[in-house]
């Protein structure tokens, strides 16, 4: 039995698990709400993520994480939080001894012939896994779709 974990990092991201090439689990990134400057913000909860992924701390498990960077128009605080989430995800995987690769969005999307829009990822994921298409039906499910497609991309390497 082999597992591939695909992770779209960030508080709005998600995690997908392929087991022997089959999509067996998709879930939103575990988060907690904290108050920053009087506003509630979602942040990745590393202890919850570790709890979810601990089951996959096996010799035949690998992970792929989308390599993220600053996005145009994003504020300094948002960029820092996004980078922190990326680092937490990598740290959790390292702490669980799960071999991890990172890949830029341009690389994996080009390999899967996706356009740059989020709807393309949702449509491709629903096409690849019609039995789980309901996991990708909402606009906000783009993180789930991208996590699943990242795992799919890794399975083809």
Query: Which range of residues forms the domain containing residue 141?
Result: 3-155
State the CATH number of the domain containing residue 117. 3.30.420.10
This prediction has a pTM of 0.92
pLDDT tens sequence across 9-21:
988 999 999 999 8
CB 63 within 8 A of CB 98: yes
Task: Report residue 129 as tokens.
Answer: 């896994």
φ, ψ for residue 44, nearest 5 deg: -60, 135
pLDDT tens sequence across 68-116:
876 667 677 777 878 889 999 999 999 999 999 999 999 999 999 997 6
| Domain count along the chain | 1
Average pLDDT over residues 36-62: 92
Cα radius of gyration (the chain): 15
Between CA 24 and CA 50 the distance in angstroms is: 18
Between CA 6 and CA 101 the distance in angstroms is: 10
Between CA 82 and CA 88 the distance in angstroms is: 10
């Amino acid at each position: 039995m082999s597992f591939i974990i695909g992770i779209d990092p960030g508080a709005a991201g998600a995690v997908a698990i392929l087991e022997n090439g089959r999509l067996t689990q998709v879930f939103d990134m575990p988060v907690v709400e904290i108050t920053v400057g009087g506003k509630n913000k979602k942040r990745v909860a590393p202890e919850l993520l570790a709890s979810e992924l601990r089951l996959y701390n096996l010799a035949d498990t690998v992970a792929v994480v989308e390599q993220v960077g600053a996005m145009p128009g994003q504020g300094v605080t948002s960029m820092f939080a996004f980078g922190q989430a990326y680092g937490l995800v990598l740290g959790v995987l390292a702490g669980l001894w799960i071999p991890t690769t990172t890949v830029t969005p341009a690389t994996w999307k080009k390999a899967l012939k996706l356009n740059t829009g989020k709807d393309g990822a949702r449509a491709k994921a629903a096409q690849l896994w019609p039995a789980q298409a309901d996991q990708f039906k909402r606009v906000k499910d783009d993180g789930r779709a991208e996590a699943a497609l990242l795992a799919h991309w890794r399975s083809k390497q």
